[in-house]
Chain A
């Protein structure tokens, strides 16, 4: 990591990131660094807050009504959980809509998965890797990746994720010295996935895993194109 983005003053790097003037590789490097570098993140917030009035320079543009219809379909509760549709007698303030309850369950599930991961690891003599994929802002753990050997990993969802219609979640990995991320395929929220890494180099510590939102058939170019929903790095235990 000796590229120039490491040497620029943080306020400058953050400013260029917020302005939007960084080329692809440098922008990607900043996004990755923001996962762990709190000082850089606070400079990003600094510039976001101060430059945002420049949005006033732009003339508004009409948005067709169809866009709201799509948004409304994507956020409808029956879209997220077809099961809830049948029991339409649920009132909106019933337990199903209790966000705190679901957050609590997610956190509990996260803790349990962590314990199970550690338990599993203790049972097995081989080196073990574990990754917790969290949302880029670090607030919500979403998935756990467990590897009991270098060639097979399991991906387990910790909570619910609403995939917009026509979109899909795609799972990627990249070790530090690879030139780009490699797709591990599409994942279904709530489904456990067993992935064979036979065709890839052995898993290594600090290897990056991420889940991005792509078109329904996955990224057409073999590289992530959509927003990163969950991200994390392998920890050797």
Chain B
């Protein structure tokens, strides 16, 4: 609980952004821009698009910070959720249908669960490792589906191509994963 992300007060930062204090947005950018860039780039797979979306994201935080409601979640989670939805909307609704820059072959191997070891729930204001444990409790192929959807923004169809598994199986793995997670997190 003592690493630097815990020291940054996201809720105060968003209040200051709502009061139009530019220094607060600047501080947020210094704290989070690189990590947000990683999250967005992994979904859009195009550097220029990801940079445009970082611009749009910080502008949105600046304009919408007054709508942030601390009773519904943490400030940091709110910012990352906006980032992911901007990136997902961009790949789903833009017509750039050509394959994204990086082919699946170059993607990190997710058959092991190293990626999941990096998940540290205390960064996100959570006081237990429930999310990590519940993800680890999923069967490996289901965990891989969750990873490819959440981190790369792949559709069910793309995951099915990637894993060479029938679309119906992927759909039901995702549905069952969500049910299992909901039960495990309850």
Residue ranges of A at the interface with B (Cβ–Cβ < 8 Å): 11-12, 15-16, 18-24, 27-28, 31, 45, 48-64, 67-68, 70-72, 74-75, 77, 97, 99, 103, 135, 137, 139-140, 162, 164, 213, 220-221, 223-225, 227
Q: Is B73 an interface residue (CB 8 A)?
A: yes
B174 touches A51 (CB 8 A): no
Q: Is B10 an interface residue (CB 8 A)?
A: no
Tell me which of A11, A19, A75 contacts B182 (CB under 8 A): A11
Beyond A19-B146, A56-B123, A71-B25, whether A63 also contacts B33 by CB under 8 A is yes
Alpha-carbon separation in the docked complex, A19 to B57 (Å): 19
- The minimal Cβ–Cβ distance linking A21 to chain B, given in whole angstroms, is 4
Q: In the assembled complex, which residues on chain A have CB atoms less than 8 Å from the CB atom of B26? A: 68, 72
Size band of the B side of the interface?
Answer: 35 or more
Tell me which of A21, A51, A55, A223 contacts B35 (CB under 8 A): A55
A60 touches B35 (CB 8 A): yes
Q: Is B86 an interface residue (CB 8 A)?
A: yes
Contact with A along B3-16 (1 / 0, CB 8 A): 00000000000000
10 extra A-B contacts, CB within 8 A, seeds A21-B159, A61-B34, A62-B34: A15-B178, A53-B131, A53-B132, A55-B80, A56-B119, A60-B38, A67-B54, A71-B54, A71-B55, A75-B25
Contact with A along B100-132 (1 / 0, CB 8 A): 000000000000000110111101101000011
Q: Is the interface of A mostly helix, strand, loop or mixed?
A: helix
Q: Is B67 an interface residue (CB 8 A)?
A: yes
A62 touches B95 (CB 8 A): no
Beyond A21-B154, A21-B159, whether A61 also contacts B178 by CB under 8 A is no
A225 touches B94 (CB 8 A): yes
Q: In the assembled complex, which residues on chain B have CB atoms less than 8 Å from the CB atom of A71? A: 25, 29, 54-55, 58-59
Alpha-carbon separation in the docked complex, A164 to B60 (Å): 10
- The minimal Cβ–Cβ distance linking A220 to chain B, given in whole angstroms, is 8
Chain A, Cβ-Cβ closest to B79: A52
Q: In the assembled complex, which residues on chain A have CB atoms less than 8 Å from the CB atom of B124? A: 52-53
Beyond A11-B178, A60-B37, A71-B29, whether A48 also contacts B73 by CB under 8 A is yes
Q: In the assembled complex, which residues on chain B have CB atoms less than 8 Å from the CB atom of A68? A: 26, 29, 33
A48 touches B174 (CB 8 A): no
B93 touches A99 (CB 8 A): no
Chain A, Cβ-Cβ closest to B170: A21
A99 touches B18 (CB 8 A): yes
Q: Is B138 an interface residue (CB 8 A)?
A: no
Beyond A21-B159, A71-B25, A72-B22, whether A55 also contacts B33 by CB under 8 A is no
Beyond A67-B33, A67-B54, A221-B95, whether A20 also contacts B153 by CB under 8 A is yes
Q: Is B179 an interface residue (CB 8 A)?
A: yes
A54 touches B135 (CB 8 A): yes
B149 touches A19 (CB 8 A): yes
A227 touches B89 (CB 8 A): yes
Alpha-carbon separation in the docked complex, A193 to B101 (Å): 41
Q: In the assembled complex, which residues on chain A have CB atoms less than 8 Å from the CB atom of B179? A: 12
Alpha-carbon separation in the docked complex, A228 to B146 (Å): 27
Alpha-carbon separation in the docked complex, A62 to B25 (Å): 18
Q: In the assembled complex, which residues on chain A have CB atoms less than 8 Å from the CB atom of B154? A: 20-21
Alpha-carbon separation in the docked complex, A19 to B123 (Å): 20
Chain B, Cβ-Cβ closest to A54: B150
A164 touches B92 (CB 8 A): no
